Copies of this chain bind each other. A is one copy, B any other.
Amino acid sequence: MSYEANVRRVTPYVPGEQPKEKNIIKLNTNENPYPPAPGWREIVNTIDEDAFRKYPDPLITDLTHAIAAYHKVDIDKVFVGIGSDDVLATAFLTLFNSEKPVIFPDITYSFYDVWADVFRIPYKTIPLDENFRIKAEDYNIPNGGIVIANPNAPTGILESVDFIEGIIKANPDSAVIVDEAYIDFGGETCLPLIDKYENLLVVRTFSKSRCMAGLRIGYAIGNVKMIKFISDVKFSINSYTLNTPTIALGLASLRDNEYFEECCQRVIATRERAEEQLIKLGFKSTNSYANFLFVSHKEKKAEYIFEELKKRKIYVRYFKKPRIDNYLRISIGTDDEMEKLVEALKEIV
């Protein structure tokens, strides 16, 4: 015997590579190619010693207010955490406390089953159809909760608000988490439904559309009672999550809506252009509404292309997983980066 008998053993999530090399084209972790709204610089200059010495505001008041104002919801409908991963993990722990399995698509954000495992939440994956679409009727089964990424990752496929509403409506006894990490790149949000369905939680992040992956800010919006449940669990784990500089810096993004919208439009425009070029090279592509493309080549294997790109210092994401092991997920970089990608692919395929 040893203390090891009591250890919770898990297979951890493996994040995308963060290569330390310089001069690479990094299209593997869905970061935004553009810098965050320039207001951050001014905010950095206002950081003073008290921002370090004293505990941060445990209620993250200023940032919560700003997010609530941006979405025109009451502040007690907003929960803020350390990236949407922290928000989702806390929501899983809070809302999926059932003996019945939580259900989600077989192809989706690869953290969902990891959280279920670590928190001992039973789960069951529901196969997407052959076009990677959700079949709504499959969600009419007894379950302990539902989580849907919309647009989905890594496919980028968007379902309509009406479609998602059907699932929420059919499952009044389950919390339904809609993970909208990528919604700002052309999708329509389910946020208007939060006042209609008490079982809905919508999750967002600053990492993609707000160009702030390095800051780790995510949030959820839901009805007051649900947000209170999640917040109680958060306060049972770590009272002070976002630190003082982070709270201040997050505000910079929300203050500059023009920059934000311009930035999203640029990513969308580049995505459409790049997709066209890839199709010309013999790729088929899902109709992605995210800041990445999900593509498969008619002749060359995805793994081969992945390795060849890497040799050329272009990093994309390859998942060696059933059903998607011949696809590549390619984050949308700048036009220049995507041009270099296309040139490299011309050589490879």
Chain A residues near B (Cβ < 8 Å): 1-15, 18, 26, 29, 31-36, 40, 44, 47, 49-58, 82-83, 85-86, 89, 93-98, 114-115, 117-118, 144-145, 172-175, 198-199, 207, 211-216, 225-226, 229, 231-246, 249
Contacts and interface: CB of A to CB of B under 8 A. Distances in A.
Given A6-B96, A11-B236, 7 more contacts: A3-B198, A12-B234, A52-B212, A83-B240, A85-B240, A214-B243, A215-B244
Given A6-B95, A97-B6, A236 B13 contact: yes
A56 B243 CA distance: 15
B98 A6 contact: yes
B51 A12 contact: no
A118 B230 CA distance: 12
A95 B55 contact: no
A293 to B, nearest CB: 19
Given A7-B97, A97-B8, A173 B55 contact: no
A317 to B, nearest CB: 13
Of listed A8, A58, A95, residue having the most chain B CB within 10 A: A8
Contact of A236 (B10, B47, B58, B225): B10
Q: Which 3 A-B pairs have the closest CB atoms?
A: A12-B235, A35-B49, A8-B97
Contact of A83 (B4, B31, B172, B238): B238
B31 A55 contact: yes
B85 A239 contact: yes
B117 A236 contact: yes
Given A10-B236, A97-B7, A55 B1 contact: no
Contacts of A3: 95, 145, 172-175, 198-199, 226
Contacts of A35: 49-50, 52-53
A6 B9 CA distance: 25
A1 B142 CA distance: 13
Q: Which of A14, A52, A226 has the most CB of B within 10 A?
A: A52
Given A55-B207, A236-B117, A249-B52, A6 B215 contact: no
B118 A233 contact: yes
